[in-house]
């Protein structure tokens, strides 16, 4: 019932937050679609393989979020992915608790994917060195969101995630990160971020 | 010799023009401003003439964004020396205190500006920003409303207030702010589009129809506004799917949605074609 993150997913989340330090940002996490539900599927963690940065600035409006969810859902189906989580970093650094909006979006995702996670980014611990994971992961239990401890176990390979995220931050890769807002400003902007994906692979 | 000199002049002019463009567009690309501005100040100060003072101001604010207090302090000292007793420089000193999270000291700084000049809008807005930074949204909203009673034409303030309301999920009041902005800026497609988004978020058939109308209006003002195009599609689709609408309304909205789909597909085709051209080159 728990999710794990790949380096690519973690990286792009943090790059998104780093690109807009003065704004709230949010986005989605996707996992590979499981072929069949195994009996012990509760014990195998779900691996979030990628992250789709959505918006920056004013988050709490519905129409563009619906457009993004629709387009990304289609993309997921084409790539055998499923939307497995939602992340948000609030505008104020010290404010890292999920707000009503985050819970709403999280609940919406949980409707289609029961093990969906809601992730809040803790900007107070955000450093270039990335020495510790700065996420708070919330699981959906009985209509409530329960916070789970986020440590190295929540990552496919924390050492790799730490090294690569730090390297990309130093290299200012966040300047070329594309979110859905950027895409709406210019359709040529690709929210799958193939260049950054290449950089991550290159550094692996 | 001569070639090098030409290159340096070009580089310097480019840097100065970049800073000016970012100033005019009110871009908050602070890291880039610090990169370009710091070099300009350190290497080319003599060539800048009177431009240097506005550049010091711009670089100082960007430096605060980047936690470069050393650079911010340097800029501030230069400005203090050149403009002793200036309210504008006092406000910058206040912003530095805000960046250091010394909110009480910053507030006192702004209060002292307001004592000398009670109509100083910049100082009042900074005080409201402090409330925002401290998470005191209700107070920030209250103060901003009071401010707007006095300075009813301040568009930046109306827009800020609309954002504060949206963050509090008070969409009705956010819509009111955007209505003010649309009234005074009837040709601004962004305000139309944002108003449509707020109405859509409020929900209900009436609001959906309003949102559709304003998405369409935004498109009329700027036919490349993709948010307006997508919004038109979404709102028309929802109206068409609503069980309460009669057949005529449903038919019309199905048509609007179909038109929007067509336009969206064309827009994607054009952008992909452009991408292919770029790749071929």
What is the DSSP annotation of chain A? --EEE-HHHHHHHHHHHHH-TTS-EEEEEEEEPPSS--TTTTTSPEEEEEEEEEEES----HHHHHHHHHHHHHHHHHTTEEEEEEEEE-SSTT--S--HHHHHHHHHHHHH-TT-EEEEE-GGG--TT--S--EEEEEEETTEEEEE--SGGGBS-HHHHHHHHHHHHHTTGGGG---HHHHHH-TTS-TT-HHHHHHHHHH-
Question: What proportion of chain B, given as a percentage, has pLDDT over 90?
Answer: 87
Q: Quick: pLDDT tens for B109-118.
A: 999 999 999 9
For residue A93, give the chain B residue with the closest CA: B133
- Under DSSP, the state recorded for B85 is T
* CB pair distance less than 8 Å for B226 and A184: yes
What pLDDT does residue B281 have?
A: 45
Strands A46-56 and A25-32 turn out to be antiparallel
CB contact under 8 A, B169 and A22: no
Mean pLDDT of B72-79: 97
Higher pLDDT, B22 or B5: B22
Give the chain A residue nearest B135 (alpha carbons). A92
- Contact list in A for residue B227 (CB cut-off 8 A) is 63-64, 184
**C-beta atoms of B200 and A94 within 8 A:** no
pLDDT for residue A39 is more than 80: no
Q: What percent of chain A has pLDDT over 70?
A: 96
- Chain A residues inside the 8 Å CB shell of B31: 172
Quote the pLDDT of residue B1.
56
Report ipTM (2 d.p.). 0.93
Which residue in B133, B230, B270 is closest to A64 by CB distance? B230
Question: For A91, which residue in chain B has the nearest alpha carbon?
Answer: B133
- Whether A58 and B167 lie within 8 Å, measured CB to CB: yes
Average pLDDT over residues A128-135: 91
Is A22 in Cβ contact with B65 (below 8 Å)?
Answer: yes
Q: Which residues pair with A137 in a beta bridge?
A: A119, A148
Are the beta carbons of A172 and B31 separated by less than 8 Å?
Answer: yes
CA separation (Å) from A89 to A24, A138, A204? 5, 14, 26
A62 and B200: CB-CB below 8 Å?
A: yes
Report the alpha-carbon distance of residue B42 to residue B177 in Å, rounded: 44
Q: Token digits for B202? A: 């409020």
The answer to whether the Cβ–Cβ distance between A100 and B169 falls below 8 Å is: yes
Report d(CA B261, CA B264) in Å as an integer.
Answer: 5
CA A104 to chain centre: 16
User: In Å, how far is B165's CA from the nearest CA of chain A?
Assistant: 10
Task: Mark out chain B residues that contact chain A at CB-CB < 8 A.
Answer: 28, 31, 65, 133, 135, 163, 166-167, 169, 196-198, 200-201, 203, 211, 226-227, 230-231, 234-235, 267-268, 270-271, 274-275
Match 């109308």 to its residue by tokens.
B213
A48: pLDDT strictly greater than 50:
yes
Is the per-residue pLDDT at A37 higher than 80? no
Given a cut of 60, whether residue A41 has pLDDT beyond it is no
How high does pLDDT run on average in chain B? 94
Q: What is the structure's pLDDT at A76?
A: 95
Q: Does residue B9 carry a pLDDT above 80?
A: no
Residue A194 forms contact with B (CB below 8 Å): no
Check pLDDT > 90 for residue B177: yes
Note whether B231 contacts A63, CB cutoff 8 Å.
yes
Check whether B196 has a pLDDT greater than 60. Answer: yes
For the residues B56-82, what does the mean pLDDT come to?
A: 97
pLDDT of residue B11 exceeding 50, the answer is yes
Beta carbons within 8 Å of A190's beta carbon, 6+ residues apart: A178, A183
Beta strand residue intervals within B57-138, DSSP E: none
Query: What's the average model confidence in pLDDT over B149-156?
Result: 96
Residue A5 has pLDDT above 50, yes or no: yes
Facing B271 at nearest CB: one of A64, A91, A187 = A187
Rounded to a whole number, what is the distance in Å from the CA of A167 to chain B's nearest CA?
Answer: 17
> What is the mean pLDDT of the segment spanning B262-278?
82
Range scoring the smallest mean pLDDT among B1-15, B41-55, B263-277: B1-15
User: What's the pTM?
Assistant: 0.93
Of all residues in chain B, the one with the smallest CA distance to A70 is B234
Number of C-beta neighbours around residue B55 at 10 A: 23
Comparing alpha-carbon positions, the chain B residue that sits nearest to A61 is B201
> Is the CB of residue A143 less than 8 Å away from at least one CB of chain B?
no
Q: What is the pLDDT of residues B202-248, one digit of tens each?
A: 999 999 999 999 999 999 999 999 999 999 999 999 999 999 999 99
What pLDDT, on the 0 to 100 scale, is given for residue B67?
A: 93
Banded pLDDT at B12 (limits 50, 70, 90): confident
Interface contact A100, partner B, CB < 8 A: yes
**Res. A91 pLDDT band, cuts 50 70 90:** very high
Instruction: Select the residue of B198, B230, B235 nearest A61 (Cβ to Cβ).
Output: B198
pLDDT of residue B46: 87
What pLDDT, on the 0 to 100 scale, is given for residue A143?
83
Residue B45 has pLDDT above 60, yes or no: yes
* Per-residue tokens: B262: 């067509």
**Inter-chain residue contact A60 with B268, CB threshold 8 Å:** no
CB-CB neighbors (< 8 A) of A182 in chain B: none
């Amino acid at each position: 019932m728990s999710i794990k993150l790949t380096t690519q997913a973690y990286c792009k989340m943090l790059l998104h937050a780093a690109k807009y330090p003065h704004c709230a940002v949010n986005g989605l996490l996707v996992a590979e679609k499981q072929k069949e539900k195994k009996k012990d599927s509760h014990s195998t963690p779900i691996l979030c393989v990628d992250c789709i940065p959505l918006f920056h600035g004013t988050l709490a409006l519905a129409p563009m979020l619906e457009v993004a969810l629709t387009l990304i859902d289609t993309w997921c189906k084409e790539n055998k992915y499923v939307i497995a989580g939602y992340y948000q970093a609030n505008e104020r650094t010290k404010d890292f608790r999920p707000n009503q909006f985050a819970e709403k979006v999280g609940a919406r995702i949980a409707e289609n994917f029961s093990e969906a996670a809601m992730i809040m980014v803790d900007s107070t611990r955000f450093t270039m060195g990335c020495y510790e994971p700065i996420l708070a992961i919330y699981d959906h239990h009985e209509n409530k969101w329960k916070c789970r401890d986020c440590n190295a176990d929540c990552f496919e390979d924390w050492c790799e995630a730490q090294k690569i995220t730090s390297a990309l931050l130093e290299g200012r890769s966040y300047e070329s990160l594309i979110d859905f807002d950027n895409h709406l400003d210019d359709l040529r902007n690709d929210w799958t971020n193939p260049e950054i994906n290449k950089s991550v692979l290159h550094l692996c | 010799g001569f070639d090098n000199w030409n290159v340096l002049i070009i580089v310097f002019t480019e840097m100065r023009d970049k800073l000016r463009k970012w100033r005019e567009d009110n871009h908050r690309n602070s890291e880039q401003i610090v990169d370009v501005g710091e070099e300009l100040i350190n290497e080319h100060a003599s060539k800048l003439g009177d431009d240097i003072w506005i550049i010091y101001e711009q670089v100082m604010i960007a430096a605060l964004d980047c936690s470069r207090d050393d650079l911010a302090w340097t800029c501030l000292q230069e400005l203090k020396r050149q403009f002793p007793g200036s309210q504008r420089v006092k406000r910058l000193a206040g912003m530095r205190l805000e960046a250091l999270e010394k909110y009480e000291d910053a507030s006192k700084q702004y209060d002292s500006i307001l004592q000398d000049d009670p109509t100083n809008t910049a100082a009042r807005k900074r005080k409201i920003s402090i409330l925002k930074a401290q998470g005191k949204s209700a107070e920030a909203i209250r103060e901003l409303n009071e401010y707007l009673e006095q300075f009813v034409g301040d568009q930046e303030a109306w827009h800020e207030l609309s954002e504060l309301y949206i963050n509090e999920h008070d969409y009705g009041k956010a819509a009111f702010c955007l209505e003010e902005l649309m009234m005074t800026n009837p040709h601004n497609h962004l305000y139309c589009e944002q108003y449509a988004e707020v109405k859509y978020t409020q929900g209900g058939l009436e609001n959906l129809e309003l949102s559709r109308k304003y998405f369409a209006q935004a498109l009329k003002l700027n036919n490349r506004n993709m948010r307006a195009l997508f919004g038109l599609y979404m709102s028309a689709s929802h109206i068409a799917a609503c069980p309460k609408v009669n057949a005529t309304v449903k038919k019309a909205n199905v048509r609007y949605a179909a038109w929007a789909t067509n336009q969206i597909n064309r827009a994607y085709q054009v952008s992909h074609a452009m991408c292919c051209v770029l790749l071929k080159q």
